[in-house]
Amino acid sequence: MNDERKATTAGTGLLTDQAPARPLPPAPGFLTACLRIFDLSISEMLWSKRTVFMLLIVGAPVLIALFIRALVSLGAPVLEGPGGVRMTGPAIFGMMIWIFYLRFTIPVLGVFYGTSLIADEVEDKTITYLFTRPVRRSAVLVGKYLAYLGCTVFVVLPSVMLVYLLIVPIRGSLGGSFLDLLKDLSLLALGLAVYGALFAFIGAKYKRPLLIGLIFIFGYEQAALAFPGYMKYYTIAYYLQALVPHAMPNDGALSLIQNIFRETPSLLTSVVSLFGIWLVFLALAGWVIERKEYVLEQ
């Protein structure tokens, strides 16, 4: 009887005596999944076309610093400030941080990298491969966001160090402005984090995120800061510029420009507001990606 039963089950391709299948391994935790996606994404970002674009952006201030240093070495009067006051290296360095990095480089890198975290996966039709992994969708986003931070910080901060070493010794002291340098590095890293969180949400939510991001940083933020009113309270630059440890010269056009943008909140208000913006938009990005159905275009 048992032989007949085995023969019958064998004929149907089933074996009653077969050992039960091994259970699938448990899905990794949220933090473990984030680190795995980070490890997968960091090398792709470092060797992508966007990195070439990023090197061009952060390389421009270094070239300008080299040019200024060469002119000063040749005795050219390039550091004559308003009223015949000779500007020092630390003052020039602070001006370059304020103009080249804070007002341009950090927002632009946040736009180009933050909006691409999910949008590039949709455009390349690879997002389904990420979402079929046994990890939460929000862990995919956070892992790619951490890779963005690592990639941009790894490229931007060495550029700042090179500008510092080239410019600050000109009629200045390296030791006297080293604390400001540490503040600058922390400030730029904070700016990359906050702008990246905002544009990660835009990239996860909207279909044309890069255009929206460019309009935000070159249109809305500039207008909101330039004109009086409450609109500046809804920008990142308003709170970020309050943390800049440098001041521009007291006279001349540069001072006028800074005074336009320099109506700043208190230190505590800026830190709390930036942390709140970062937390809210990173959480919103994770919430959107958990619930949105991404339709791949043919």
pTM of the model: 0.82
Domain extent, residue 259, equals: 28-291
Q: What is the pLDDT of residues 191-220, one digit of tens each?
A: 999 999 999 999 988 888 999 999 999 999
Where is average pLDDT lowest: 104-108, 169-173, 259-263? 259-263
Average pLDDT score over residue span 222-245: 86
Highest mean pLDDT among 68-72, 195-199, 292-296: 195-199
Give the pair of three-digit tokens for residue 114: 């933050």
Q: In the chain, how many domains are there?
A: 1
User: Is 185 contained in some domain?
Assistant: yes
Q: What is the pLDDT of residue 251?
A: 43
pLDDT at 104 over 70: yes
**Does 182 fall in a domain?**
yes
- The reply to whether 250 falls in a domain is yes
Q: In which band, very low, low, confident or very high, does the pLDDT at 36 lie, cut at 50, 70 and 90? A: confident
**229 — alpha (psi -120 to 50), left (phi > 0) or beta?**
left
The values of phi and psi at residue 165, to 5°, are -70, -30
Percent of the chain with pLDDT over 70: 76
Q: Is the pLDDT of residue 294 over 50?
A: yes
pLDDT tens per residue across span 142-171 = 999 999 999 998 889 899 999 998 888 776
In a domain? residue 269: yes
pLDDT over threshold 80, residue 55: yes
